[in-house]
Amino acid sequence: MREYLMAVGDTSPGPDVQRWDKLAHQAVRNLHEPSPAIFWADLLSTATSGYALLLVAMRGRFDMVVTLLAWLAGALTLYRALCFMHEIAHLRPGSVPGFETAWNVLIGAPLLMPSFVYTPGVHQNHHTLSTYGTSQDPEYLPFASSHVMTTVFAIHSVLIPLALVVRFVLLGPLALLVPRLHRVLVERASALAMHPNFVRTATPGLLRRAYWWQAYIMALWAGVMVLAVQGALPWRVFAFWYATMAIVSVVNVLRTLGAHHYEGDGASMDRAAQLLDSIETPGAWWTEVWAPVGLRYHALHHYFPGIPYHHLPEAHRRLVAVLPADATFRRTFSPSLPNSLRRLLATGWARSRAGH
């Protein structure tokens, strides 16, 4: 643990940020255009394979080992599909026509994670210099100040599917009939946020968008329940849904904890500090399992948030080639998720003992 404590604090912005910015921008200048063909092929193949694997597991026609492997593979595949929500938040309007709608129909609504819980006005605050790391950043908490906070946050992930059911299956339909409740849910229970005090601005456009997607979710889930009542679907489909979403939530929370150092004190940060507070985990091919759709290149994403996921590996290679070893960007690298989590827990443990 000592080596991680010694690394804490080596996050001071260096003068190379401005010095190498121009070169970095030149290196990736032609990597900002998304490919609709890649987006569509990836989404459709991922969604199809994910649901097919879960169907194999749910039907239970194989032995226990095959069933468990199919379920786990299906859950991780749908986790990958769900991570396209992050790309949706950064896509320019019209750059991949129809993609967000299709994603919501295939993934967002069935998994009770429609895209309006992430954009607009949620994820964008995580990138803005004036709000990153502050109370207005819904995706940031000072985990580096307490190992207990980090541990509790990780454990609570298994309850996230229950919260989604309460929000979208129980309260959501009622909110369609009670406008005041609908507004409250949009403001306080419709953001993929870790900060408990985050409140969204319920614009007319957001209220309307949330209303219609809630109506679609209600119709979809009501249809599944009717099929279960009629015996066309086994009731265990709901248990499989919860178990799948629990796996998705646990993996996503661990990935989130490994995406930043979370050493902010609540004040806004400049660009260099935000970059150094972010973590790049290029890793080997298996890194894609827990950080799919470009999420392992998280520091690079904060450096150039407009680069689509399928260009991030090439952007990473180019920046490594042109930037020196002591460049700020290259100081964000971590060898693995366990390494990042150990450092976060060690920092929190040390600061808790110091009374910070």
Q: For 265-288, write each residue's pLDDT tens digit.
A: 999 999 999 999 999 999 999 999
Question: Across residues 127-148, what is the average pLDDT?
Answer: 95
Distance CA 291, CA 309 (A): 11
Taking residue 166's Cβ as centre, other Cβ atoms within 10 Å add up to 12
Weakest mean pLDDT among 43-47, 246-250, 326-330: 326-330
pLDDT of 355 above 90: no
Q: What is the pLDDT of residue 12?
A: 46
What are the backbone angles phi and psi of residue 280, rounded to the nearest 5°? -105, 125
pLDDT higher than threshold 60 for residue 341 = yes
pLDDT of 210 over the 70 cut: yes
Q: pLDDT at position 356, please?
A: 56
Q: 246-263 pLDDT, tens per residue?
A: 999 999 999 999 999 999
- Least Cα distance to 33 among 355, 307, 323, 337 occurs for 307
User: pLDDT digits over 171-187, tens only?
Assistant: 999 999 999 999 999 99
**CA proximity to 223, closest of 128, 90, 110, 104:** 110
- The amino acid that residue 127 corresponds to is H
- What percentage of the chain carries pLDDT values higher than 90? 88
How far apart are the C-alpha atoms of 101 and 119, rounded to whole Å?
A: 13
Task: Say yes or no to pLDDT of 129 above 90.
Answer: yes
Sign of CA dihedral 345, 350, 354, 356: negative
Q: What is the pLDDT of residue 153?
A: 97
Q: How far apart are CA 156 and CA 75, in angstroms?
A: 19
Output the pLDDT for position 22.
87
Query: Is there a cis peptide before residue 173, judged by omega within 30 degrees of 0?
Result: no
Asked if pLDDT for residue 16 goes beyond 70, the answer is: no
User: What does the alpha-carbon distance between residue 39 and residue 41 come to, in Å, rounded to a whole number?
Assistant: 6
Write down the pLDDT at residue 29: 96
The one-letter code for the residue type at 32 is H
- Is the pLDDT score of 3 beyond 50? no
Is residue 212 over pLDDT 60? yes
| pLDDT mean across residues, the chain | 93
Q: Say if pTM beats, i.e. exceeds, 0.85.
A: yes
**For position 20, what pLDDT does the model report?**
82
pLDDT at 7 over 70: no
Strand partners, 278: 260
Q: What whole-number distance in Å separates Cα of residue 154 and Cα of residue 265?
A: 21
How buried is 261 (Cβ within 10 angstroms: 0-12 exposed, 13-18 middle, 19+ buried)? buried
What does the DSSP 8-state code read for residue 333? Answer: B
**Tokens describing residue 160:** 């996230």
- Size of the chain, expressed as the number of residues it contains: 356
